[in-house]
Amino acid sequence: MTRPVLERYQRWMYLHRKANGQPLTFRAQNSRLRALRGYFRWLARQNYILHNPASELILPRLENRLPKYVLSVSEAERVLAGADCLRDRAMLELFYATGMRRMEVASLSSMTSIWSAGR
């Protein structure tokens, strides 16, 4: 397997049309090429091949997607009203106001303990 063969495969995916006539999405192309790169990386690490021919493949860029659905004001108020305690309500308001991810909010508790210990 050589890099030109992989580039031909990449070009074929770009030009390929599904049964309904639609092209493969960049996300589908990206995931297939990532799988190939991972497989060739594994082959090279296990010394089955001398070098990884897929290491220099340029993957298609993925578009940044915004959420398809945003809560209305009344829906957001209903979600906030469903919080059982002050801590839950504070976290929900933080999610809604900042757009933080779940793990980012979870890491805040460890950060606040570090900050309070330093005072």
Phi and psi, residue 53, nearest 5°: -70, -15
105-114: per-residue pLDDT in tens? 888 766 555 4
Question: What pLDDT is attached to residue 110?
Answer: 60
- Cβ neighbours of residue 35 under 8 Å, at least 6 residues apart? none
Q: Work out the pLDDT band at 117, boundaries 50, 70, 90.
A: low
- Residues 91 and 97: their CA atoms lie apart, in Å, by 10
- The percentage of residues in the chain with a pLDDT greater than 70, rounded to a whole number, is 91
Would you say residue 17 lies in a domain? yes
Question: What pLDDT is attached to residue 118?
Answer: 52
Number of C-beta neighbours around residue 53 at 10 A: 20
Same domain, 77 and 114: yes
- Residues 88 and 108: their CA atoms lie apart, in Å, by 14
Note down the domain range covering 80.
73-118
Residue with tokens 């021919």: 53
| Mean pLDDT score, 22-38 | 93
Would you say residue 64 lies in a domain? no
Would you say residue 52 lies in a domain? no
| Mean pLDDT score, 2-20 | 94
Would you say residue 13 lies in a domain? yes
Structural contact between residues 62 and 28, judged by C-beta atoms closer than 8 angstroms: no
- Cβ neighbours of residue 99 under 8 Å, at least 6 residues apart? none
Same domain, 41 and 77: no
- Residues 64 and 105: their CA atoms lie apart, in Å, by 22
37-75: per-residue pLDDT in tens? 999 999 999 999 999 999 988 888 888 877 778 888 898
Would you say residue 22 lies in a domain? yes
- How many structural domains are present in the chain? 2
